[in-house]
Amino acid sequence: MLKTTGATFLAIATSFFILLFSPPPKSYYHSLFISSSLSDNASISHHLRTLTRRPHVAGSQANAEAASYVLSTLSACNIKAHIVSYDVLLTYPYSRSLTLTPSPSEPPITFDLKQEIYEGDPYADVADEVLPTNHAYAKSGSVVGPVVYVNYGRVEDYGTLKEMGVNVTGTVVLARYGEIYRGDIVMNAFEAGAIGALVYTDRKDYGGGGGDAKWFPDDKWMPPSGIQVGTVYNGSGDPTTPGWASSEGCERVSIEEVESSGDVPLIPSMPISGADGETILRLIGGQIAKDNWQGSIDAPTYRVGPGPGVVNLEYNGKQVIATIQNVMGVIEGVEEPDRFVILGNHRDAWTFGAVDPNSGTAALLEVAQRLQKLQRSGWKPRRTIILCNWDAEEYGLTGSTEWVEENRDLLASRAVAYLNVDCAVSGAGFHASGTPQLDDLLKQAAQQVQDPDNSSQTIYEQWIQSTESSLIGRLGGAGSDYAAFLQHIGVPAADMRFGAEYPVYHSMYDDYTWMEKFGDPMFHRNVAVASVWGLVALRLADEEFLPFNYHSYALELQKRAEDLENEISDKGITFSPLFKSIEELSKAARKINNQKKEIKEAKGWTSMRRNDHVKVRELNDRLMMAERAFTDRDGLLRRPWYKHLIYAPSRHNDYGSTSFPGIDDAIENAKNLNTAESWHVVQHEVWRVARAVKHASLVLDGKLT
């Protein structure tokens, strides 16, 4: 009896000892991470001001200095940090000119193609360091032709012009930026027969709508001289190393091979200001454009042409193999160091980059500093956390793509998820996109963080009130650095930000002053982004069971498949194999959720928990690897780098987010050709996706057939 009593006392004493002296649960540290005691809006403001004091385009000395700042900040946080360099093909403008001849009897108008500094501009002393306005990877050449106005330059816009009897062949098109990726604007122009393309920012979309609207620095809108620059490359990564890393001394394809790839434009193009765009529009005759093609309330009447105004566009670029630098920071996991939770943001900017991308860089450094404070409090991650600051994203997601290509096999076997923040803040309102198994996690994180614009509610409450369509977007577009992770190797991914599109995007007015006045005056939104971003990462790194729910994935695929079936219901295409595979995925998702629940319920004392680690690891591996099964080694038809059959860009809009891109592309082609063979390709693509979904269900199930 005494022995039993003694044993019982010892067990109770041991339990109290464990409770008193064991480290706090991981949830304690997660709550601490998002607390006001750890966040620091002044520090974020300082980081942003430092990073944006000079323009820092990829390959420049200023961007190398920004890399050194990020490296030193990570190192100061006791995070093992290093630089990974690649030698990649970048382009810079050598010379450019644009003239407009109103009529044969009138002298030409010469455009200066400059963005004007404003009175009191604090960056006037470094304004000459801003790269002359251009399109990266634009075709060099000189073209002369009458102008045709093509609205946003979409495929459907050219369809409208064809219906109007307007022939685009041999003309220089004028398109306004807004609905699709600029590279697709130029590509669509080439396919329509144009010899050159001009892309401008319309006051209706970016200038406040005209009338009495003010512009920066008095308001948030783009000034009349503002020019949105950017890349027109339609690929990912270094164009000379398609599919492999641009390491020193590597194999490279020739410039001729790059041009024949279809990923770089074959006609010259140039970005121009809204003021210059209106000047050209005033000298275009012909039929009046449709109402929804017109501009702001005080803009001239838009006509489609062609002519009589004739444009002379000259552009010469220089191609350089330049060194880019990714900055990497690693916090090694204690229990599962071979499982990676990856956070990424890019550093390079076309100009000052206060919103794009350095609001995200400042948030990344804020996350790093908070993680250091957690480590001082005793926190250690279960899995490894990797902080990535990419270079040359603006040229074509280059830094992240080269790193993923170099580390493809290791990442494919070990990466849990990739969490991206590009433009962390451009205004109010939280937005998130991701692969569907992360939906619940994103919502739960948003429920724990206070809305920076209304302290009486959470971000989640603001989010659901302001969203009319789907709460969480998808990552089908290739708009940021998640592309290589998700669309090339199949790593679950998410992207988040405050604010949507902003008027001074990719212009020299995207500076610290704009952010301080209009984007986030108190830098509380920047703090909130860092909180959600870091909290999602902590849960993925620390929780024993990965917080994935593939039931959400099955529901998403079912809805999208039904939409496609309804779209072509009269074409004899059967979606039954896809629906069958989705049902199998749904069953596998329910099964693994139940298995997770059973293991949790079976857990007892700590001594018993050790016996379950193999089961937990095996279940987590299935959750992690299921996304990989949605990829196909052959990739999309004519776009083999994109391996993911569920999420990839639309063929005519690199920013466009679609589900089942291979099916979408095949349907578009079949509608144009309307042949038995083209519709057979649609059916084949349905089968391909059905097989991929079935593979994902088998991975989740964890058993061989």
Active site residues: 393
Tell me if 622 sits within 8 A of 702, measured CB to CB: yes
Question: Looking at residue 139, what DSSP letter applies?
Answer: P
Q: For residue 70, how many C-alpha atoms fall within 13 Å in the half-sphere facing its CB? A: 34
How many CA atoms lie less than 13 Å away from 462 in the CB half-sphere?
22
d(CA 56, CA 35): 33
The Cβ of residue 3 has, within 10 Å, a number of other Cβ atoms equal to: 7
- Closest to 585 measured CA to CA, from 612, 561, 617, 615: 561
Are the C-beta atoms of 682 and 573 separated by less than 8 Å? yes
- CA gap 392, 470 in Å, rounded: 31
CA gap 29, 428 in Å, rounded: 28
3-state secondary structure of 694: helix
Q: Where are the alpha helices (DSSP H) in 287-438?
A: 358-376, 393-396, 398-406, 408-414
Q: What does 458-523 look like in DSSP terms, one character per residue?
A: BHHHHHHHH-SS-SSB---S--STHHIIIIIT---EEEEEES---TTTTSTT-SHHHIIIII-TTS
CB 138 within 8 A of CB 115: no
Backbone angles phi, psi at 196, to 5 degrees: -165, 165
**Which secondary structure element, helix H or strand E, spans residue 199, and what is its range?**
strand 196-200
| DSSP state for residue 569 in the 8-state scheme | T
Query: How many C-beta neighbours within 10 Å does residue 608 have?
Result: 10
Cα–Cα distance, 120 to 128 (Å, whole number)? 16
What is the rounded distance in angstroms from the CA atom of residue 93 to the CA atom of residue 91? 7
**Measured distance CA(632)–CA(151) in Å, rounded:** 36
Q: Is 529 helix (H, G, I), strand (E, B) or coil?
A: helix
118 neighbors 226 (Cβ within 8 angstroms): no
CB 459 within 8 A of CB 528: yes
Return the structure tokens found at 134: 């251009």
CA–CA separation, 363 and 345 (whole Å): 9
Q: Tell me the one-letter amino acid at 323.
A: T
By DSSP bridging, strand 172-176 and strand 141-149 are parallel
* Rounded distance between C-alpha atoms, residue 516 and residue 506, angstroms: 17
- The 10 Å CB-count burial string (b at 16+, else e) for 422-451 is bbbbbbbbbbbbbbbbbbebbbebbebbbb
Helical residues (DSSP H) of 449-575, grouped into ranges: 459-466, 482-483, 512-514, 524-542, 550-567
237: left (phi over 0), alpha (psi -120 to 50) or beta: left
Taking alpha carbons only, the member of 503, 533, 365 closest to residue 434 is 533
CA 169 to chain centre: 34
| Own/partner long-range contacts of 465-471 (Cβ < 8 Å, ≥24 apart) | 466/429, 471/443
Amino acid at 404: V
CB atoms within 10 A of CB 552: 17
Give the position of tokens 């995925």.
Answer: 585
DSSP secondary structure letter of residue 83: E
